[in-house]
Chain A
Amino acid sequence: MNKIVSKEHFSANVVKLEVEAPLIARSRKAGHFVIVRVGEKGERIPLTIAGADTAKGTITLVVQAVGASSKKLCDLNVGDCLTDLVGPLGQATHVEKVGTVVCAGGGVGVAPLLPIAEAFHKAGNRVIVVLAARTKELVILEKEMRANSDEVIIMTDDGSYGTKGLVTNGVEAVIQREKVDQCVTVGPAIMMKFVAELTRKYEIPTIASLNTIMVDGTGMCGACRITVGGKTRFVCVEGPEFDAHQVDFGELLMRLGAYKNMEKK
């Protein structure tokens, strides 16, 4: 059950895993996520589904080793099994033909962005992807993004690849160049916050995929709750995507820090 059938290193800290999960592969849609657990003492961690192969009965997960639990997952090899894998969870991305869509992704947020870009592209939209990373080695999924969009713009903090600058610089350049009908942003909370501020200025509808702390992922605990438009919402069941202009990113950043310095050895 839940056997890893392939593993690929995107960078030192980012791996792509293809995992057997025939039921999830069949029912998942862009935007859905899963909860994964590694080991009997393992934590339940949410991961967006980056892709699926219904014929093979597998799903793709892209994992960045940030804490103890994600590191454990990245250390697994082909043939190993995940202790638990449950999903698909959350609401699927609302995809329709709107015209031109800018997909802005940073860090490991690029992985969940891939199926979303793909879905918008398939729906007949002009899709422009802005990929941001600190440096060249950390740029991931560029090839896959190119295959599923009309244009890919790369931004690096140090200018080692693509254009030097932040994701917002890339997005703004597109907005100034042509009419953008919608923006989708997935990445670190702080990055999504700045993308939201930028697109608010230009009044471009924007959705953000929120990466809150979760436990069950089924609406049972409220660990994932966040204020959106003045109301508390449960990200695992009502999200993970919300109107970025309504999200209280300050609260998100604060709640993400809840267990900082508490990680166990």
Chain B
Amino acid sequence: MTTEELIAARRAEPWREALRKSKKNKERMEIPRVKMNELDPEYRSHTRLEEVNLGLTKEQAMQEAQRCLDCPKPTCMQGCPVGIHIPTFVKNIERGEFLEAARILKETSALPAVCGRVCPQEKQCESQCIHLKTGKPAVAIGYLERFAADYERESGQISVPQIAQKKGIKIAVVGSGPGGLSFAGEMAKRGYDVTVFEALHEIGGVLKYGIPEFRLPNRIVDVEIDGLRKMGVDFEKDCIIGKTLSYDDLHEEGFKGIFVASGAGLPNFMNIPGENLVGVMSSNEYLTRVNLMDAADPDSDTPVIEGKCVAVIGGGNTAMDSVRTARRLGADRAIIVYRRSEEEMPARLEEVKHAKEEGVEFMTLHNPIEYIGDERGRVKEMRLQKMQLGEPDASGRRRPVPIEGAIETIKVDEVIVSVGVSPNPLIPHAFGGLEISKKGTIVVNEQTMRSSLPDVYAGGDIVRGGATVILAMGDGRKAAAAMDEAFQKM
């Protein structure tokens, strides 16, 4: 069956037809979009660990699901990088079959509870919703995804996928972020013996060390990891492929296939004067200290600078996570400094909204040109060049150009540089014969995710540069299908 046929067949099921007829489209369209239940902004800007979004109630979710018109050609699905059967899961929520909704999500997404929280839905599924054509807000697909996944987890009735008969073939996964985890799950299901190697002392990649607790609680990621363990996936932490074990060592240990999902871990700096002053750091360092090392906990041995006036350079999700963390660690002023305007910011809309509610200041069209330190080498001021928008550049966004002579100095005691990451160079250096792009990413066949080394597949940020959780996951699934097929043919 093709995807189109499956969509049509599911849509034609009697319960679904009845559900469609139960309410007129006009009525459905009159229901206002649900509002996410959230912690109070003033309260939450001082609480480090509590999740901001509280999720929808059953009633809210079922009502929101009614807004979906169950289109015959669901454009939302085209907006989803992994092609989740969106109307099918939404209609299951409408009729109260929440576990079935979760099952549909899991057909295509390994981590729905994660994606429901961190996907940029407004740029993906929700951007294609039919409601937008009539000037109404899109169905809250992301909230519904989160609702179904949370419902399943909290019900204690998590469906454990069926495991095919063991094949006795050993597969190694490099990196335990969303790419590695989804690949591991898919291969375990198919009966392979999967070992995931992780350099850090925690499993989860960016989901653990990067994205903060107030946006994605660790326990949610841990449930997914436990699920994989139950499926027989082995995790080896504190093991760096290319250092602790080489490519040849993996072969010697009997691994027949390798999936590399080592992420885009290398932080970029701007190379401007004063960037190495004490108090200036990458967002990776700041977030790793706070999230992975729990540095803000008085019992943790790891220190973190808790600035009172913190500037975060950049406009992406990482910048928003850093600036909101700074507020929570007690910054009186937490400022986003971004060289373009708010419209060009790559961060999810929700993060920008939440940041503003929490008292974060936005200095858009400003670019740092120098940091100035005190006599002990601690940053105390930054010089900012004011910008204006010029002609569109290669990315289609209007290029920021300096306004000559417009320079401002502001006082800061901590600066977090969040201007992007580069692919982790470890594996590209360690695997001889691997084809690498100019940008340092691993070159793969887009259909199979296979690299220039026949037994090495790759996906996620190491292939795409800094991308998203859902794309990394999608790559993992694709690679698993292709690697399995390659073994079948052997």
Contacts and interface: CB of A to CB of B under 8 A. Distances in A.
A86 B215 CA distance: 29
A92 to B, nearest CB: 11
Interface in A45-104: 68-69, 72, 83-89
Contact of A41 (B199, B249, B271, B300): B300
B284 interface: yes
A37 B201 CA distance: 9
A232 interface: yes
B376 A220 contact: no
A218 B278 contact: no
21 contacts: A27-B246, A43-B300, A44-B302, A69-B301, A86-B199, A86-B244, A87-B240, A87-B243, A215-B285, A219-B426, A221-B282, A221-B288, A232-B269, A232-B271, A254-B377, A255-B276, A258-B278, A259-B303, A259-B305, A263-B303, A264-B303
Tell which of B200, B279, B305, B424 has the most Cβ of chain A within 10 Å. B200
B82 interface: no
Does more than half of chain B's interface fall in helix, strand or loop, or is it mixed?
A: loop
A226 interface: yes
A222 B301 contact: no
Interface of B: 199-201, 237-240, 243-246, 249, 265-267, 269, 271, 275-279, 281-282, 284-285, 288-289, 293-294, 297-303, 305, 376-377, 424-426
A251 B276 contact: yes
A42 interface: yes
Contacts, number: 119
B377 A23 contact: no
Contact of A86 (B238, B267, B300): B238
Contact of B201 (A72, A84, A88): A84
Interface size class of A (residues with CB under 8 A): 35 or more
A250 B303 CA distance: 22
A219 B269 contact: no
A260 to B, nearest CB: 9
Interface string A218-246: 11111101110000100001000000000
A43 B265 CA distance: 20
Given A222-B269, A232-B276, A23 B245 contact: yes
A235 B426 CA distance: 14
A223 B300 CA distance: 18
Contacts of B246: 27
Contacts of A124: none
Given A84-B201, A221-B281, A254-B376, 12 more contacts: A27-B243, A39-B301, A42-B301, A86-B238, A89-B240, A219-B426, A220-B267, A221-B285, A222-B281, A223-B285, A263-B303, A264-B299
Contact of B288 (A72, A215, A237, A262): A215
Contacts of B278: 254-255, 257-258
A88 B246 CA distance: 11
Nearest to B282: A222
A257 B376 contact: yes
A24 interface: yes
A223 B426 contact: no
Interface in A167-194: none
A218 B238 CA distance: 11
B285 A264 contact: no
B381 to A, nearest CB: 17
Contacts of B303: 259, 262-264
Contact of B300 (A215, A216, A264): A264
Contact of B244 (A37, A88, A255, A258): A88
Given A27-B244, A221-B282, A232-B271, A215 B293 contact: yes
B281 A68 contact: no
Tell which of B245, B267, B279 has the most Cβ of chain A within 10 Å. B267
A27 B237 CA distance: 17
